[in-house]
Structure 1
Amino acid sequence: MTSHRALDAAPLDAETLAFLTRPGLTRLWAAARTRLERNGLQPTGTIKLQHVDPPEREALSLLLAKPLTTSTATIHLPDLDTRLRASAVGRGLAETLAELGPALTDRRAARDAAAAQRTGLWSAAEATLAATPLAAQPWAARWLEETRRAGTVARQDGSTAATVLTQAIQTLAMLFPGPAAEPTPAVWGRGELATRTTGSAHGLDDGTLLSRLVLRGIALASGTDFPVDAPGRRALWRLASVTPDEVSSTVLTYGLRPTGATWGERTLRERADHNLETHLTLRELRALHLEMPSRTRIHVCENPRVVEAAADAGCTEPLVCTSGSATTVVLTLLDALAATGCAFAYHGDFDWPGIALANRVLERYGAQAWRMGTGDYEYLATRTQVHGTPQLLLTGPRVEAVWDAELAPAMEALGIALHEEAALDLLLEDLS
């Protein structure tokens, strides 16, 4: 019998199906299926079955129409295909295996399709990147290449992979717009940013693939390591002026008297009149219209104790506290005050982190150093020694003060760190 039936041939009759599904042929069909799926579903090559037992020997002899006398069976797949077509089966090896089930998978074609899809995915991502301000950022191409090599994106289904890459690029372009981009908010709420780029306020939630890709971009842009814990991730978001939420972080203020007529501005003036400090959230700052009297001088301190003492003393000068670091909400307030023409005077700790923070504030806002000169440091250091105050040793790498070239050498020579409280009485004189 030499007929060749099409793929839509009539189902196998019960007798033929019973023969083909007998246990003695199970290993043959499994091995043949594996070979065909690797061969692009073509019946080529040879399979070898070791340790053939008597039931297998009998079934194989009947199927191949030749006696099998050894414990090893070598089957040429082209011969098996021909034999099946010429027998009562009436169809080739691939069709027979498909009918016995499950359906065959052309793994070679699947690999080729997946490779083509990956190539298209990254080509499209490169084109998307090139059309954004990120194209001018030296770290952006490295970010895309590291993302490709990591393989996590490529393991997603095609639609998901393309979407998450596009959204990651768009999000990073929002955060690093470049000089030619449209103006963007100085600070983003993470939910707001996610809504703009994904349509969902939860699109950048912690643990999502998109948030990891964006954070890796921020880390590369900032020259920092990728964080390993939740606090580190929140800090990295803030480094890119993104706040995970708009209510948990606050900036401590005192004595602000904006001229606006809204409830928020009136409340600030009333609290200032009653010598009360005020914690402002990012959400509140977005709603405020902080118009201040022209050239208002804002004192900025590092430690909350200065605000507490100013309130106790009934000081009248406005004061903003960085609380040890210029977080997103602190910078948002200072940016808003700077936009109204306010001038700043800054004081902080006389230690290396304090000098670094002072540099940041002075350079960003053109602020004046407030009792932060070499003479101020030497006077305070001497006073603590005279009073027998326990000395705090200066540790860590030296940081040059941008406002006073002699300060870092003087600090290094004395080796004493001074927290802001050491100058509290002097600061309160100025604030009064």
Structure 2
Amino acid sequence: MTDARAEDEPSLPAEALAFLTRPGLKRLWTAARTRLERGGLRPVGTIRLPDLDAEERQALSLLLARPVTGPAVTIRLSDLDTRLRTSAVGLSLAATLTELGPPLTDRRAARDAAQAERTRLWSESEAALAATPLANQEWARQWLEGIRRGGTLMRQPSGTALTTIAQAIETLATLFPGTATDPTPATWGRGELATRTTGSAHGLDDGTLLARLVQRGIAVARGVDFPIDAPGRRALWRQASVTPDEVSSTVLTYGLRPTGTTWQEGALRQRADHRLEAHLTLRELRALQLSFPPGTRIHVCENPRVVEAAADTACTAPLICTSGSAATVVLTLLDALSAAGCTFAYHGDFDWPGIALANRIMERYQAEPWRMQAADYEYLATRAELHGTPPLSLTGTPIEAAWDAELAPTMDALGIALHEEAALDLLLGDLVEA
């Protein structure tokens, strides 16, 4: 361990500090620091410095008070410690390294403390599991062991880790009070369940560590793979009688006329007949029978203003808006329309995030570019300049457009970002013709 020194003890004298910080000793201090930190801060063992240059040999000779003439030197840390204590430095090796900075870290003690913390965490986790109906479930033990092997929990602060695993066990015990194939007959809203087991309605929100741990437990209990996307995670929640939030996120639509005979499809047709947009939730999409005439062409835009303008001008072409990002509810609708045999044409912003989103939509649905070629961009940029529109600088990392190799270089050369509204009159003309 490091020397105990009074707070008012003077630091290294200026002359000693100047000598110890000379370049010829840099490798020595680096090697000594590494060896001390690995050995519990005790000056034991040796260090070897190979390939010495003239400057290093001179500095080491002066420090060790013995000639160093060869291409390499081996130094006992105990000798170096004694030499520093009895020299003008007057400090131990550990204290000297602390003065030279940064502070030493007892890595052995840190490893021992981390191991003790891991032991305590899993001991308390096993005790918490044993106190619930999950104690007799083989899948629950497998789940806890999988978490232990994964290591994610141990990267959290100890208090957070203990709280999280305890809440995960409590949540799973609430969902599976009997056997793995017999979840509680109650149907929980995810927020309601989170409030019950964590005290916060957002405790099981997507992306939280607790939600992932609980979902892994459900997957192990049901014998299914852990889902890799949002729809799969929602389906997994439903396997444990948990209803995820399917009403807060919506997709903006206009002009959809599905041929199904339920009242939901009829309501969409009525809104289309009255030139009204419709916001559809995931819950509604699950109930809709989205059948369309084969080859129905659907335009997809990025900005809600296009939908608003289409309604104002009484366009009849069906239109879907991503609202700036392809959220799960948007992709769910487009997946259903694609499965129904619909085709797509896509337009978005001429900036790098817009190109990234366009790539995603076009590649996933084989959508055609809708006024999204390099020539379209050049025309709009020129028109904006002629109209005296203040230019918007194009910032960020260029992204290649999968549908047009010339678009990204053209945008990068002109350096102007164009939002979808810049092409609004052209888009509306296309929708009217459609």
Return the TM-score normalized by structure 2. 0.55
Cα–Cα, structure 1 residues 240 and 29, in superposed 2: closer, same or farther, change >3 Å?
A: same
* 2:24 partner SS: helix
Quote how far apart the aligned CAs of 1:110 are: 0.3
For the pair 1:7 / 2:5, whether they are aligned, the reply is: yes
Runs of 5+ consecutive residues of structure 1 not aligned to the other structure: 255-280, 284-301, 306-432
Cα–Cα, structure 1 residues 228 and 29, in superposed 2: closer, same or farther, change >3 Å?
A: same
For the pair 1:233 / 2:237, whether they are aligned, the reply is: no
- Whichever residue aligns with residue 91 of structure 1, its letter is L
2:327 counterpart residue number:
none
Cα–Cα, structure 1 residues 236 and 14, in superposed 2: closer, same or farther, change >3 Å?
A: same
Distance in 1 between the 2:217 and 2:169 partners? 9
Quote how far apart the aligned CAs of 1:244 are: 0.8
Instruction: List structure 1 runs of 4+ shifted beyond 6 angstroms.
Output: 302-305
1:186 counterpart residue number:
186
Distance in 1 between the 2:289 and 2:49 partners? 80
Cα–Cα, structure 1 residues 245 and 87, in superposed 2: closer, same or farther, change >3 Å?
A: same
Distance in 2 between the 1:60 and 1:75 partners? 10
Distance in 2 between the 1:210 and 1:10 partners? 50
* 2:47 partner SS: strand
- Whichever residue aligns with residue 176 of structure 1, its letter is F
Quote how far apart the aligned CAs of 1:133 are: 1.2
* 2:68 partner SS: coil
Quote how far apart the aligned CAs of 1:228 are: 1.7
> Which deviates more from structure 2 when the two are superposed, residues 120-129 or residues 168-177?
168-177
Between the aligned residues of both structures, percent identity stands at 71
2:159 counterpart residue number:
159
- Whichever residue aligns with residue 116 of structure 2, its letter is A
Distance in 2 between the 1:248 and 1:304 partners? 21
Distance in 2 between the 1:304 and 1:5 partners? 77
Quote how far apart the aligned CAs of 1:223 are: 1.7
1:41 counterpart residue number:
41
Distance in 2 between the 1:202 and 1:174 partners? 17
1:107 counterpart residue number:
107
2:85 counterpart residue number:
85
* 2:155 partner SS: coil
Distance in 2 between the 1:130 and 1:6 partners? 46
Cα–Cα, structure 1 residues 55 and 248, in superposed 2: closer, same or farther, change >3 Å?
A: closer
1:130 counterpart residue number:
130
- Whichever residue aligns with residue 152 of structure 1, its letter is T
Distance in 1 between the 2:19 and 2:146 partners? 55
Contact kept? 2:47, 2:74, Cα under 8 Å: yes
1:423 counterpart residue number:
none
- Whichever residue aligns with residue 221 of structure 1, its letter is A
* 1:52 partner SS: coil
Contact kept? 1:219, 1:225, Cα under 8 Å: yes
Distance in 2 between the 1:125 and 1:36 partners? 35
Alignment of 1:42-57 (within 5 A): 42-57=42-57
Contact kept? 1:5, 1:90, Cα under 8 Å: no
Distance in 2 between the 1:226 and 1:5 partners? 52
1:150 counterpart residue number:
150
Distance in 1 between the 2:222 and 2:172 partners? 12
* CA distances 1:21-50 after superposition (whole Å, capped 9, x unpaired): 111111100000000000000101111111
Distance in 2 between the 1:50 and 1:248 partners? 66
Contact kept? 1:190, 1:204, Cα under 8 Å: yes
Q: Number of aligned residue pairs: give it.
A: 255
1:196 counterpart residue number:
196
* 1:135 partner SS: helix
* 2:144 partner SS: helix
Distance in 2 between the 1:5 and 1:122 partners? 36
* CA distances 1:190-226 after superposition (whole Å, capped 9, x unpaired): 1111122222222211122111110111111112221
Quote how far apart the aligned CAs of 1:172 are: 0.5
* CA distances 1:278-334 after superposition (whole Å, capped 9, x unpaired): xxx999xxxxxxxxxxxxxxxxxx9979xxxxxxxxxxxxxxxxxxxxxxxxxxxxx
Distance in 1 between the 2:54 and 2:248 partners? 76
Cα–Cα, structure 1 residues 248 and 22, in superposed 2: closer, same or farther, change >3 Å?
A: closer
Alignment of 1:364-403 (within 5 A): none
Runs of 5+ consecutive residues of structure 2 not aligned to the other structure: 250-261, 263-280, 291-434
Quote how far apart the aligned CAs of 1:91 are: 1.3
Cα–Cα, structure 1 residues 238 and 72, in superposed 2: closer, same or farther, change >3 Å?
A: same
2:307 counterpart residue number:
none
* 2:153 partner SS: coil
Alignment of 1:312-391 (within 5 A): none
- Whichever residue aligns with residue 74 of structure 1, its letter is T
1:242 counterpart residue number:
242
Distance in 2 between the 1:5 and 1:121 partners? 33
Distance in 1 between the 2:5 and 2:93 partners? 11
2:252 counterpart residue number:
none
Distance in 2 between the 1:56 and 1:32 partners? 15
Distance in 2 between the 1:142 and 1:5 partners? 47
Quote how far apart the aligned CAs of 1:97 are: 0.5
Quote how far apart the aligned CAs of 1:247 are: 3.9
- Whichever residue aligns with residue 186 of structure 2, its letter is A
* 1:154 partner SS: helix
2:63 counterpart residue number:
63
Contact kept? 2:204, 2:210, Cα under 8 Å: yes
> Which deviates more from structure 2 when the two are superposed, residues 64-73 or residues 34-43?
64-73
Contact kept? 1:216, 1:226, Cα under 8 Å: yes
Distance in 1 between the 2:42 and 2:247 partners? 64
- Whichever residue aligns with residue 62 of structure 1, its letter is L
Distance in 1 between the 2:39 and 2:161 partners? 28
Return the TM-score normalized by structure 1. 0.55
* 1:139 partner SS: helix
Contact kept? 1:189, 1:246, Cα under 8 Å: no
Distance in 2 between the 1:58 and 1:282 partners? 75
Cα–Cα, structure 1 residues 69 and 303, in superposed 2: closer, same or farther, change >3 Å?
A: closer
Quote how far apart the aligned CAs of 1:71 are: 1.6
- Whichever residue aligns with residue 201 of structure 1, its letter is A
Distance in 2 between the 1:303 and 1:101 partners? 67
Distance in 2 between the 1:6 and 1:282 partners? 65
Quote how far apart the aligned CAs of 1:136 are: 2.3
Contact kept? 1:6, 1:91, Cα under 8 Å: no
